[in-house]
Amino acid sequence: MTTSPSQDSTAGIRLEPPVVYAVPLVAGLLFHRWQSVLVTPPRFAKPIGIVLVLLGFSLCVAAVKTFRREGTSPLLDRPTTTLVTNGPYRFSRNPIYLGYTSLYLGISFWANSLWPVVLLPFVLWVMHRAVILREEAYLQGRFGDAYSAYCQQVRRWLGEPRPDARKNVDR
Q: pLDDT band for position 10 (50/70/90)?
A: confident
Entry pTM? 0.87
Rounded distance, CA 5 to CA 151, Å? 19
16 within a domain of the structure (yes/no) = no
Instruction: Give 120's contacts (C-beta < 8 A, 6+ positions apart).
Output: 24, 101, 104, 105, 108
6 within a domain of the structure (yes/no) = no
Q: Higher model confidence: residue 38 or residue 103?
A: 103
4 within a domain of the structure (yes/no) = no
8 within a domain of the structure (yes/no) = no
Q: Which residues constitute the domain of residue 87?
A: 23-74+83-153
Within 10 A of 123 (CB to CB), how many other CB atoms are there? 22
166 within a domain of the structure (yes/no) = no
- Please report the pLDDT score of residue 8 as a whole number: 56
Number of domains in the chain: 1
11 within a domain of the structure (yes/no) = no
Average pLDDT of the residues of the chain:
89
- Tell me the pLDDT tens digit for each residue of 86-129: 999 999 999 999 999 999 999 999 999 999 999 999 999 999 99
Closest CA to 117 of 19, 18, 21: 21
139 within a domain of the structure (yes/no) = yes
58 within a domain of the structure (yes/no) = yes
Question: Which H/E stretch holds residue 22?
Answer: helix 17-34
Q: Are 87 and 65 in contact (CB under 8 A)?
A: yes
